[in-house]
């Protein structure tokens, strides 16, 4: 049954060009961010490795949190809003299919879209590195940890944003909560890593350094136990809230 729901969502997604344009604009924007930073540093006397270090440091300090969590928040909202916009929820929940199956399929789809964005972002930065011929000095492992890995780490956040987008027909509420989580994630770390934003913030790789650029054995993978616990907590609470929700 979940496979049938996945296929139904896929058919809707095929016509959702807005999501594709959004993903494309994010990847292009990230590529320009790195290219302009590196080009500026090279023109100001820094060598290539230093220029990459400056670009990654700026990305980590100013853009990483916004790029990953902002994109996830909007992807979830845009995907779920297709059902709100067409007033499909009341019709959907008159079927004998359990509500949790709709929730899980939408989590899976938003996870897929987020990982596609992570893969495209990683590929873009890797190709920029190939253009500057820096892969002898900068490992693909490093690029993976700082570009794609944060999207993998954000799966509990995705589950949370999906249920918020399903519960609120006014997507501005879900977006407001998601954006608030971006800026409060550092506080949530102190509350516990079982909170999705706290888990994401707490297990991000550390501030990048020039020495780390060369490390092909870099490994900052988060404990999967905390991630699974955080994800399951969100899913259970989401199913309870969804079953109590009256969709008019």
Per-domain boundaries in the chain = 2-244
Q: What is the pTM of this model?
A: 0.88
What pLDDT digit, counting tens, does each position of 231-241 carry?
899 999 988 98
User: What integer pLDDT is reported at residue 88 of this predicted model?
Assistant: 65
Residue 245 vs residues 89, 93, 131, 166, 211: alpha-carbon distances, Å: 11, 11, 52, 10, 52
C-alpha span between 192 and 151 (Å, rounded): 20
Pull the structure tokens for residue 38. 């590196």
Question: Sorting pLDDT into bands at 50, 70 and 90, what band is 170?
Answer: confident
Which of 178, 81, 192, 63 minimizes the C-alpha distance to 125? 63
Which of 20, 31, 29, 24 minimizes the C-alpha distance to 126? 31
User: What is the four-CA torsion angle of 158, 218, 46, 26, rounded to 10 degrees?
Assistant: -20
> How is 87-140 classified by DSSP, letter by letter?
T-HHHHTTSSS-HHHHHHHHHHHHHHHHHHHHHHHHHHHHHHHHHHT-TTTS-H
- Could you tell me what percent of the chain has a pLDDT over 70? 83
Pull the structure tokens for residue 178. 């998601």
Crossing angle, helix 99-132 and helix 64-85, to 10 degrees? 140
User: What integer pLDDT is reported at residue 171 of this predicted model?
Assistant: 82
Considering only residues 220 and 239, tell me which one the structure prediction assigns the higher pLDDT: 239
């Amino acid at each position: 049954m979940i496979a049938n729901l996945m296929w139904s969502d896929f058919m809707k997604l095929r016509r959702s060009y807005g999501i594709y344009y959004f993903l494309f604009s994010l990847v292009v924007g990230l590529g320009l961010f790195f290219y302009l930073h590196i080009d500026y540093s090279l023109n100001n006397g820094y060598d290539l490795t230093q220029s990459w270090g400056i670009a990654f440091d700026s990305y980590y300090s100013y853009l990483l949190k916004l790029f990953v969590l902002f994109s996830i928040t909007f992807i979830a909202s845009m995907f779920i809003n297709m059902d709100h916009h067409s007033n499909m929820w009341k019709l959907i929940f008159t079927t004998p299919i359990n509500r949790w199956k709709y929730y899980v399929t939408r989590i899976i789809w938003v996870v897929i879209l987020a990982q596609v964005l992570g893969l495209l972002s990683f590929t873009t930065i890797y190709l920029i590195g190939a253009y500057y011929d820096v892969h002898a000095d900068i490992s693909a492992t490093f690029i993976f940890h700082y570009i794609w890995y944060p999207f993998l780490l954000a799966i509990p956040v995705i589950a949370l944003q999906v249920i918020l987008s399903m519960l609120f027909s006014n997507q501005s509420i879900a977006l407001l909560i998601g954006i608030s989580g971006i800026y409060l994630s550092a506080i949530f770390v102190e509350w516990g890593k079982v909170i999705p934003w706290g888990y994401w913030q707490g297990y991000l790789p550390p501030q990048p350094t020039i020495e780390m650029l060369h490390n092909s054995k870099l490994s900052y993978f988060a404990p999967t136990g905390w991630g699974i616990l955080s994800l399951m907590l969100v899913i259970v609470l989401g199913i309870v809230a969804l079953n109590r929700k009256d969709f008019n």
